[in-house]
Structure formats: structure tokens, C-alpha cells
Structure 1
């Protein structure tokens, strides 16, 4: 039981650390080059201003009761939620994201299984109404994640 809770907290902490850097988008002001354009020496009007198609991303965590949930979409979130839980975000890739993609993920907290032991809550991710990730109804200790590419 402790191993599952420790694993879940470790995954949450690792995901927060890995994704915490550079997750906020900052638009360049008038006369300022965007960080990616100035770093690579690209001229204004290059591919960094292009936008992809909008995507609807649905994060779901099943179960009953309450649990800590972390999800990474447009920004990083970590909060106590009531299960079952669903969050929908609209995402549109732009600039370098069009080439490399963007990873979205949900890390569910633990819930009591039928045997009374703690296990990861079931999670799924849907992109544009198609299920693209799940944790096998909580049987996998890995978070649900998917890389969106245009």
C-alpha cells in the first residue's frame, strides 16, 4: 500500500519537475523577437508564427471519492478533485510545437481497489473524440500520456 502511494507521489513530483521548465508561453511584445526566433537567428515571418489545427483534449480520471490529480495540457495543474473527474481543454500547436509535438498527460492519484488496497485510479486521454491513452483501468502504474502532433 505504501509502495503504491510512494510511487504515485514520485511520479507526480517527477512529472512536475520535468514539465515545469518552459511551460508558460510568453508572447513577444512589439519590436521584440520571440525567444525561439532570437535563439535560432530566424527572421520575422518564419514558421514560428504558424499555427496548427485546434485540438480538443479530454482528461478523465475514474473511481469514487477524492484524489490528487495532476494534468499537463496548456499549463500544469495539480489539485484535489472529486472522482469521477473530467477536464476538457482546447489546444493549438504553434511554432516549433508543429514539428516536435506537445505531450499531454494526466497522473491520477490512488483509489481503493476491490481488495481494499490502494491502486492508481483509472485514467484516459481523448484527443478530438478519439481515445489515445489509458492506464488499463488502473492496472498500470504509469501516467496516461500522449504526444499531439499536427
Structure 2
């Protein structure tokens, strides 16, 4: 039981640290000028990514089990909260700019729940995109979080 708790805590800590690497920085500061699109001699903007958007996707995060637990999910933004299981969260996501080429990783790290043997195990999780299941953790048999790279 201690090994499972340690593994789960380590996994959650690692996931939390990794999500910080992709956080948005609304204050561009001095680099704002470097990120501005260049203007061609005809007066139009070159390389403007603001007009390029993908199709909207419906992303559904699900965690099974009973009782309460902490769940972390990454969709439009990062979230970590105490929830009542079973739990479902639906977000609409639309890729834009560079995300259209490289995609965006969505994931859900499920809470630990008591298994039939009395030991803690990851709760079952799934991710569905536009109604199609794209990730799961084999009904909680895998200690891996549910992760999927969303692309247009």
C-alpha cells in the first residue's frame, strides 16, 4: 500500500511540475516586439497566426470509482481539485496558430481509490474527443494517467 501511495504521489507531483512548463504568460514584456508579425512592403501582416483556427473539439474527461478524491486534468487550462467520484468534465477546445501543427496534450490524472483487495489503486479514467474514446488506463490497471495529443 505504501508503494502505491508513493507512486501515485510521485506521479501527481511530476505531472504538476510538467504542466508548469506549458503555462501561458499573458505579460509578454520586452519580448512582445519580437513576437509581433512583420509587415510586408504591401502593408499586410506576414505570419499572422491570429486568423488561423482549427475546428472546435469536445473533450470529455472521466474518472470512475466511488467516494471522493483529487483529480488533475489538463485541457484549456490546468486544474487540480477535490471531486466526488464518478466524475466527468467536458471542455470545448479549438486549436489555433502553432497548435495546429504540433497539437496540444490533454490529460487526466485520476485519484486513488480502494480496490477490491483493500489496496489503493488509480481510479479508472478515460478521455473522449468528439464522442470517440482516445485514451484510458485499462480500468485503473495501469498507473499511467490518461493522456492524448489533440491535433486537427
Q: TM-score normalized by structure 2? A: 0.86
Cα deviations by residue, 1:46-65 (Å, 9 ceiling, x for unpaired): 25221111010000000000
Partner residue, 1:83: 85
Give the Cα–Cα distance (whole angstroms) in 2 for the partners of residues 24 and 57 of structure 1.
20
After TM superposition, the structure 1 = structure 2 runs for residues 1-150 of structure 1, keeping only pairs within 5 Å, are 1-24=1-24, 26=26, 38-39=34-35, 42-43=37-38, 44-49=45-50, 50-150=52-152
> How many angstroms does 1:15 deviate by?
1.0
Give the Cα–Cα distance (whole angstroms) in 1 for the partners of residues 34 and 4 of structure 2.
45
Q: Secondary structure at the match of 2:140?
A: coil
Q: Secondary structure at the match of 1:74?
A: coil
Q: Secondary structure at the match of 2:143?
A: coil
Structure 1 residues 83, 89: closer, same or farther in 2, change over 3 A?
same
Q: Secondary structure at the match of 2:17?
A: helix
Aligned Cα root-mean-square deviation (Å): 2.3
For the pair shown, which has the larger CA radius of gyration, 1 or 2?
2
Stretches of structure 1 that go unaligned for 5 or more consecutive residues are none
Structure 1 residues 112, 135: closer, same or farther in 2, change over 3 A?
same
List, as ranges, runs of 4+ consecutive aligned residues in structure 1 with deviation greater than 3 Å: 25-28
Higher relative contact order (CA 8 A, sep 6+): 1
Stretches of structure 2 that go unaligned for 5 or more consecutive residues are 39-44
Q: TM-score normalized by structure 1? A: 0.88
Single out whichever of 131-140 and 11-20 deviates more from structure 2: 11-20
> How many angstroms does 1:27 deviate by?
8.9
> How many angstroms does 1:42 deviate by?
4.7
